[in-house]
Amino acid sequence: MKRIFYPMLLLFPGVLFAQEIDMDAMAKIRKEGLDNSKVKEIAHQLTDVSGPRLTNSPGFQRAAEWSVSEMKKWGLTNSRIEEWGEFGKGWQVEKSYLAMTKPYYMPFIGIPKAWTSGTSGPIKGEVVVVNIQNEEDLQKYADGKLSGKIVLIKSTIDTDPTFKPDAVRYTTEDLDKMTNSQPFGQGNFTPEQMEKMRTMRFFRSKVDSTLKTQKIKLELAARSGKHGTFYTSNGASYLGKSPLAGPSFEMSPEHAGLITRLVEDGIPVTLEAESATSFYDKKLTTGNVIAEIAGTDPKLKDEVVMLGGHLDSWHSGTGATDNAAGCTVMMEAMRILKASGLKPKRTIRIALWSGEEQGLHGSRNYVKNTFGDPQTMKLTPAHEKLSAYYNIDNGTGRIRGIYLQGNEGPRATFEKWLNSFSDIIDHPTVTSRNTGGTDHQSFDAVGLPGFQFIQDGIEYNTRTHHSNADTYERLVMDDLKQMAVVVAAFVYNTAQMDLKIARKELPKARGEQGARR
């Protein structure tokens, strides 16, 4: 058995040990992942076959049940859907139609917003365009003048031509800047940017609720997108006792712009629409998909290495890059380890999360139920048993490195692991930078080592993230293969270490901080 030894000083005074890479194991992982890959088959099942996967919807349930069944076939143990508590109502679209009929006929690109009611049959009417950019604008429409109208909220989106490619990979310069950057804020945003986004989301929600109280016939909005791509969002609350909202469509900015220009030119625009939606509220609880490869070392098998990604998606596409890609990679990593016949010392556990898109609910509740409560920092014995959690949720792009999330302890170890794959990782990069908006944050919130990999952006922020273009065709299969091999190596190496991954100082209880992050 061939091994390479690297001396490494951890963040424990006086502790020096030899960190080893089992090159025979790495060769088995490479061969299985690159020569016998199943990423196409897994991705097809999670996207094409399962369909859109809003939490508690039939599509989510199809994906979850298939994942459990498939991992059992691979020989994983404890494969199950593990409930974490109440999420709320499931919802899906049964019918969606939107078109302009005057001054001429044109079908429009759009879909109902999540958790909105249907139109109860076809509707038709003239469009009123409203310009609501601030509180003063909103007050102009609080007197019932819009009752019974089809209302389009005027868009301010930039729809000019773009002169940059949708799909990009990080350059060496990009990665060098990332390497030298420091942790800040939440995710990749400054506190000022986070506050601006929160303010914008709150105002948009207030606009929606104000229009609904006016008992309008239909709300139309185009809040982001370009070139026929539009981005979906909530149109109402998913909570079990929340009141039903009226019908509302998200649509492409180009079609919203067409309506606006015609109306502002004094040309009446008539639309016809029909939507049918279903709510699933008999069972408000939900769960995460969990499965394991049992550890084999008598002293370490009770310790755990975790990997995961969120299984839920939005509903205008099939959630391919967000985040069937991550679930495909993590399932494939588990398959690779099992098919390679490797016997990890620690238990390796995969989690495919629910409710991520509505606030990391699946992972937050799993962490709270299993490891500890970030509000009180009351920790369970399992907290000490977790070595690390690894996450994928930045689209289809291949791994270029890893975010340390401000935890400098494992830097040298991660650099060695990444460099051992330098033939398939161009310019391997380790950065102190935080990255946010996904499930590793749930672990970080209670002081557990939680990491997201650096991935090439490809089309994630320009075309696919939360959009109607997020379909199977947007997946780069060679990138998924590379990711699965690297992830499998990371979790296996973590499972074989003499010591667990180094940790940051425990955070203070959120109750003491006075606010939830």
Distance CA 505, CA 508 (A): 9
Q: What are the residue ranges of helices labelled H in 315-360?
A: 325-339
Q: Which amino acid is at 338?
A: K
Distance CA 442, CA 321 (A): 21
The total of other beta-carbon atoms located within 10 Å of residue 299's CB is: 9
Predicted local distance difference test score (pLDDT) of residue 188: 53
Mean pLDDT in residue range 393-418? 97
Q: Report the candidate in 364, 495, 347 with the shortest Cα–Cα distance to residue 439.
A: 364
Phi and psi torsions of 443, nearest 5°: -75, -45
Confidence of residue 14 (pLDDT cuts 50, 70, 90): very low
Mean pLDDT in residue range 251-277? 97
The DSSP annotation for 138-170 comes to HHTT-SSTTTT-EEEEPP----S---S-S-B--
- Of the ranges 49-53, 180-184, 443-447, which one carries the lowest mean pLDDT score? 180-184
Res 199 pLDDT > 90: no
Q: Please, what is the angle between helix 477-496 and helix 23-35, to 10°? A: 150
Stronger pLDDT, 222 or 190, i.e. the higher one: 222
Predicted local distance difference test score (pLDDT) of residue 194: 66
Distance CA 309, CA 475 (A): 16
- Of the ranges 154-163, 210-219, 250-259, 326-335, which one carries the lowest mean pLDDT score? 210-219
Confidence of residue 193 (pLDDT cuts 50, 70, 90): low
Determine the 3-state secondary structure of 123 from DSSP.
strand
- 21-87+284-505: CATH topology: Aminopeptidase (3.40.630)
Residues of the chain with CATH 3.40.630.10: 21-87+284-505
- The per-residue pLDDT for range 119-149, each reduced to its tens digit, is 999 999 999 999 888 888 777 777 778 889 9
Query: pTM (2 decimals)?
Result: 0.93
Please state, in angstroms and as integers, the Cα–Cα distance from residue 154 to each residue in 62, 79, 127, 277, following that order.
38, 48, 11, 25
Predicted local distance difference test score (pLDDT) of residue 189: 55
Residue with tokens 């930045």: 394
Pairing of strands 399-403, 386-391: unpaired
Predicted local distance difference test score (pLDDT) of residue 412: 96
Percentage of residues of the chain with pLDDT beyond 70: 93
SS3 sequence of 492-509 = HHHHHCCCCCCCCCCCCC
Q: What are the residue ranges of helices labelled H in 214-252?
A: none
Predicted local distance difference test score (pLDDT) of residue 187: 47
Residues of the chain with CATH 3.50.30.30: 90-169+190-280
Q: Which two tokens stand for residue 416?
A: 């060695």
Mean pLDDT across the chain, nearest whole number?
Answer: 91
Phi and psi torsions of 465, nearest 5°: -65, 110
- 90-169+190-280: CATH topology: Glucose Oxidase; domain 1 (3.50.30)
